[in-house]
């Protein structure tokens, strides 16, 4: 762990945080260490970090892991990182937007081995970033992300609750998600106007074993298309079948004709997919 004062480094390098890029940095060593512990990082691990920022988390990951590939879009941070990450030989910072890269381009950099994904994410990329990795063929073993508390609640929501949504199911198909820690807005510099939480998702390939991910994804997205509509209405629109036909298929799968998408668990969706 390197010893520096983040405020001093930002001042010394004349770096000003960019709100539009979600630059809310963490410098509390105890919190950063706890996030790395939540992620279960061990010394043989390769870690891919999204959003290097000032490198505060990156350095602590690198103290534990074998190798860290850290993606950052803002080149202005290079002067900061030259100070905060100097001397680390197991860190590679890549100044690219991972959301705009093809899988092959990412693999060219990080290789095709297994890795753990970690990041204190800019809030506006949470969902696309999650989908970018869970809908891919990368060998991601676990995902540990700091997100807005509200989004964290959506990720781990139970069926039938207001927070339950298509992102809940997209994640549930991929693995087992838990909120490992809540983090006050005061822990960030500058402080955002919402609190955050760390979510850890452990890959579990048995969740949809035997089912086609693409097909389930389509069914879930269709079922949540219009939240106030019944499942039958949503599915009749998405699959271009009559409402009667949609009801017949829903009932054949064992559900009430008036049921709404948010009442169905992942296992229910797997059962329903036999009819769609």
CA–CA separation, 219 vs 65, rounded Å?
39
User: Contact 76/54 with Cβ under 8 angstroms?
Assistant: no
Starting at the edge strand found earlier in the chain, the sheet holding 115-120 runs: 91-94, 67-71, 46-50, 115-120, 140-148, 196-203, 175-183
* Residue in 122, 134, 164, 249 binding ligand SAM, rule: CB under 6 A: 122
Between 76 and 178, whose beta carbon lies closer to ligand SAM? 76
Enumerate residues 4-33 that contact ligand SAM by CB under 6 A.
21-26
β-strand 91-94 against 115-120: which pairing, if any? unpaired
Query: 91 in helix, strand or coil?
Result: strand
* Residue in 99, 105, 194, 226 binding ligand SAM, rule: CB under 6 A: 99
Q: Which residues touch 92 (CB under 8 Å, ≥6 apart)?
A: 67, 68, 69, 70, 109
Between 160 and 190, whose beta carbon lies closer to ligand SAM? 190
Between 60 and 246, whose beta carbon lies closer to ligand SAM? 60
CA–CA separation, 65 vs 46, rounded Å?
6
**CB-based closest residue to ligand SAM:** 53
Between 52 and 230, whose beta carbon lies closer to ligand SAM? 52
Residue closest to 120 by CA, chosen among 12, 1, 39: 39
- Minimum distance from residue 48 beta carbon to ligand SAM (Å): 11
- Minimum distance from residue 11 beta carbon to ligand SAM (Å): 16
Binding mask 41-80 for ligand SAM (x = CB under 6 A): ---------xxxxx-xx-------------xxxx------
Between 50 and 106, whose beta carbon lies closer to ligand SAM? 50
Residue closest to 70 by CA, chosen among 53, 88, 45, 89: 53
**Number of alpha carbons in the 13 Å side-chain half-sphere of residue 205:** 5
Between 161 and 184, whose beta carbon lies closer to ligand SAM? 184
CA–CA separation, 84 vs 92, rounded Å?
13
The residue count for binding ligand SAM (CB under 6 A) is 23
117 is a contact residue toward ligand SAM (CB under 6 A): no
Between 93 and 231, whose beta carbon lies closer to ligand SAM? 93
Choose the binding region for ligand SAM from 36-44, 119-127, 153-161, 236-244 (rule: CB under 6 A).
Answer: 119-127
Choose the binding region for ligand SAM from 120-128, 198-206, 240-248, 266-274 (rule: CB under 6 A).
Answer: 120-128
Phi and psi based region of residue 55 (left: phi greater than 0; alpha: psi -120 to 50; beta: remaining) = left
CA–CA separation, 31 vs 27, rounded Å?
8
For residue 148, count other CB atoms closer than 10 A to its CB.
Answer: 18
Between 135 and 275, whose beta carbon lies closer to ligand SAM? 135
* Residue in 98, 106, 177, 264 binding ligand SAM, rule: CB under 6 A: 98
Interface contacts to ligand SAM, rule CB under 6 A:
21-26, 50-54, 56-57, 71-74, 97-99, 120, 122, 125
């Amino acid at each position: 762990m390197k010893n520096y004062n983040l405020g001093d480094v930002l001042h010394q390098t004349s770096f000003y945080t960019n709100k539009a890029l979600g630059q809310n940095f963490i410098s509390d060593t105890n919190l950063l260490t706890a996030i790395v512990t939540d992620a279960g990082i061990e010394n043989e691990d390769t870690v891919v970090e999204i959003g290097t920022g000032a490198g505060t988390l990156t350095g602590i990951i690198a103290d534990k892991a074998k190798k860290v590939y850290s993606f950052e879009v803002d080149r202005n941070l290079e002067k900061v990182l030259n100070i905060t990450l100097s001397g680390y030989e197991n860190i590679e910072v890549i100044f690219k937007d991972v959301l705009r890269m093809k899988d092959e381009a990412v693999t060219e950099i990080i290789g095709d081995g297994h890795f753990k994904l970690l990041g204190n994410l800019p809030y506006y990329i949470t969902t696309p970033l999650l989908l970018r990795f869970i809908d891919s063929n990368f060998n991601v073993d676990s995902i540990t992300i700091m997100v807005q508390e509200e989004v964290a609640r959506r990720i781990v929501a139970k069926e039938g609750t207001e927070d339950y949504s298509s992102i809940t199911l997209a994640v549930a198909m991929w693995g087992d998600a838990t909120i490992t820690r809540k983090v006050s807005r005061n822990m960030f510099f500058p402080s955002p106007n919402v609190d955050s939480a760390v979510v850890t998702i452990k890959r579990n390939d048995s969740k949809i074993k035997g089912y086609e991910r693409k097909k389930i994804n389509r069914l879930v997205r269709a079922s949540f298309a219009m939240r106030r509509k019944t499942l039958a209405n949503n599915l009749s629109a998405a699959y271009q079948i009559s409402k009667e036909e949609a009801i017949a298929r829903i009932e054949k799968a064992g559900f009430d004709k008036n049921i709404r998408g948010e009442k169905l668990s992942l296992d229910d969706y797997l059962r329903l997919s036999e009819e769609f």
